[in-house]
Amino acid sequence: MYKVASPSEYLVITGVGISDIKLAKKAWVLPGQSCSVFDVSPVNYTFEVQAMSAEKLPFVLPAVFTIGPRLEDEPSLLKYAKLISPHDKLSNHVKELVQGIIEGETRVLAACMTMEEIFKGTKDFKQEVFEKVQLELNQFGLLIYNANVKQLVDVPGHEYFSYLGQKTQMEAANQAKVDVAEAKMKGEVGSKLREGQTLQNAAKIDAETKIISTQRQGEGKKQEIKVKTEVKIYENQREADVAEANAELAKKKAGWAQQAQTAEVEAAKAVALREAELQMEVERMNALTQTEKLKAEFLSKASVEYETKVQEANWELYKKQKAAEAVLYEKEKDAEAQRAVAEAAFYARQQVADGELYAKRKEAEGMVVLAQAQGVYLRTLLEALGGNYTALRDYMMINGGMFQDIAKINAEAIRGLQPKISIWTNGSGGEMADGAGSGNSTAMKDIAGVYRMLPPLFNTVHEQTGMLPPAWMGRLTDSTTN
């Protein structure tokens, strides 16, 4: 069929004989090919872009963009035919795509500028937005035919522009009042000053005129230099943006070329793999044919030999399995016996340990009970002695035989030496030397000898230990004999 597109339309043909897509205004559509029509007329998109300045002040930028495919550039038209033409130009998909690009670029640019810069440089700001948006739309083959940005609008709750307008109005009104007052003052004062000071101020006015003229010329030169500097900076920035866009485009072209080469390599590999698979299938069929032929020749002999070998192998395997099972059974029994012995030994050790623990616990309990009994015994003695700790100590020393132990220790210490031995007597003919009685066999003399021995013993204990005898047993005197 022969297809013809209208003036604002293009034909998109795909199918047999076309590697990718084909664009045409009129063409034959052959069998095996598909043809669709897409409109290239531009469409108006109305947005209210919400952005925020560098001072975090929000504002609304109403804008109307007329956008359509780039007709004079065939690659851009191909991009549009692939990416955008399948969707309706007025669909939410295309509108959200365009709106997302515009809002994103507007917000990024506004975040780098103050509100005063945006308000005073509205024209430059709009131009920046258009250039940034166009760079993003190029990848979809779209072109901004026209863009109309309305006056910046305040966001509800952030009335910056309205307050700025009120400020301007108030400043103008105040300036008008000041001008009127100054005019009146100048009218009243000037009429009198002009009469008396005309000649006096002539020279002064001429000098001031020259000074002001010189100042104005200097300011004019400064402004000219400043404007040239700003223009140079703007040109350098634009060149940097263009270079960046060219670099991005070159990077994308390289990626597309790489993808195309990859696809060609993959296609060549797929063809080679298919040829290899077909060749492998042919060789496999030849091998199968040869195998069937060999089977037909040697089937009988091979079958008999196979059966014989299988039976022999099965018998050997059976014998080995039985032998292995017997060995395994013996090892299992040995392991069970060793486990039982280990458990018995462990139980015996555990019982011994429990017995020792029980004995230690009982011994500790006995020591606790003994300590408690001794505590009760000592408290009872202390109460019986009226709380006299010294009397309790002396009693415990006498009851424990400490004085006898001291005497034995002293005797052992002086054994083999030549000590000075003191002999005490009461004058009745009885004597005591080294603490030993001298010879009467009557009981009273023995008791008297013991009593005669105690004073020098207490004196010796006092000299060696510093301890005094209890009050109920007597006291020491300065004399060493009694």
CB 473 within 8 A of CB 395: no
Residue found by looking up tokens 């991005």 in the block: 248
- Count of CB atoms situated within 10 Å of the CB of 113: 18
Asked if residue 56 has pLDDT above 80, the reply is no
Nearest to 38 by CA among 25, 51, 57: 25
Q: What is the CATH number of domain 52-158?
A: 3.30.479.30
* Dihedral sign of CA atoms 455, 458, 464, 467 in order: negative
Task: Give CA–CA dist 435/461, Å, rounded.
Answer: 14
| Arithmetic mean of pLDDT, 155-166 | 60
Amino acid letter, residue 87: H
- Count of CB atoms situated within 10 Å of the CB of 63: 22
What's the mean per-residue pLDDT of the chain? 76
CB 5 within 8 A of CB 26: yes
Task: Give CA–CA dist 116/255, Å, rounded.
Answer: 42
89 SS3 class: coil
Task: Give CA–CA dist 424/482, Å, rounded.
Answer: 7
Amino acid letter, residue 100: G
Amino acid letter, residue 182: E
| Arithmetic mean of pLDDT, 398-415 | 79
Which residues pair with residue 339 across a beta bridge?
none
Which residues pair with residue 36 across a beta bridge?
12
* Dihedral sign of CA atoms 221, 223, 226, 232 in order: negative
- Give the per-residue pLDDT at 436: 42
56 SS3 class: coil
Task: Give CA–CA dist 46/149, Å, rounded.
Answer: 10
142 SS3 class: strand
- Per-residue b or e along 408-432, where b marks 16 or more CB atoms closer than 10 Å to that residue's CB: eebeeeeeeeeeeeeebeeeeebeb
Please state, in angstroms and as integers, the Cα–Cα distance from residue 418 to each residue in 77, 330, 409, 434, following that order.
Answer: 138, 87, 16, 12
- Per-residue b or e along 183-198, where b marks 16 or more CB atoms closer than 10 Å to that residue's CB: eeeeeeeeeeeeeeee
Task: Give CA–CA dist 287/281, Å, rounded.
Answer: 10
Does the pTM surpass 0.85? The reply is: no
Strands 142-149 and 153-154: what pairing?
Answer: unpaired
Asked if residue 434 has pLDDT above 50, the reply is no
- Give the per-residue pLDDT at 340: 85
- Give the per-residue pLDDT at 478: 57
Q: How confident is the model at residue 440 (pLDDT cuts 50, 70, 90)?
A: very low
pLDDT tens digits along 263-321:
778 877 877 788 878 888 888 888 787 777 777 666 666 666 777 787 888 888 888 88
- Give percent above pLDDT 90 in the chain: 0
Asked if residue 187 has pLDDT above 80, the reply is no
19 SS3 class: coil
CB 37 within 8 A of CB 9: yes
Asked if residue 81 has pLDDT above 50, the reply is yes
pLDDT tens digits along 128-151:
778 888 888 888 888 888 877 666
Pairs from 114-119 (Cβ < 8 Å, separation ≥ 24): 114/53, 114/54, 114/55, 115/53, 115/54, 115/55, 115/57, 115/59, 115/160, 118/53, 118/59, 118/152, 119/152, 119/161, 119/164
Task: Give the burial class of 355: count Cβ atoms within 10 A of its Cβ; 0-12 exposed, 13-18 middle, 19 or more buried.
Answer: exposed
pLDDT tens digits along 241-265:
888 888 888 888 888 888 878 877 8
- Give the per-residue pLDDT at 23: 82
Structure tokens at 255: 């990626």
Asked if residue 337 has pLDDT above 60, the reply is yes
Which region among 24-38, 303-317, 369-383 has the lowest average model confidence (pLDDT)? 303-317
Asked if residue 75 has pLDDT above 70, the reply is yes
Task: Give CA–CA dist 462/459, Å, rounded.
Answer: 5
Nearest to 137 by CA among 87, 47, 65, 236: 65
Please state, in angstroms and as integers, the Cα–Cα distance from residue 328 to each residue in 194, 313, 470, following that order.
Answer: 139, 22, 88
CB 66 within 8 A of CB 145: yes
- Give the per-residue pLDDT at 7: 82
- Give the per-residue pLDDT at 152: 66
List of E strands, 320-396: none
Task: Give CA–CA dist 241/229, Å, rounded.
Answer: 18
Task: Parse the chain into domains and list their residue ranges.
Answer: 1-39, 52-158
Q: How confident is the model at residue 432 (pLDDT cuts 50, 70, 90)?
A: very low
Task: Give CA–CA dist 34/26, Å, rounded.
Answer: 14
Give DSSP secondary structure letters for 346-367: HHHHHHHHHHHHHHHHHHHHHH
DSSP secondary structure letter of residue 388: -
Which region among 10-24, 105-119, 272-286 has the lowest average model confidence (pLDDT)? 105-119
Estimate the share of the chain in helix, then strand, then coil, as percent rounded to the nearest 5.
70, 15, 20
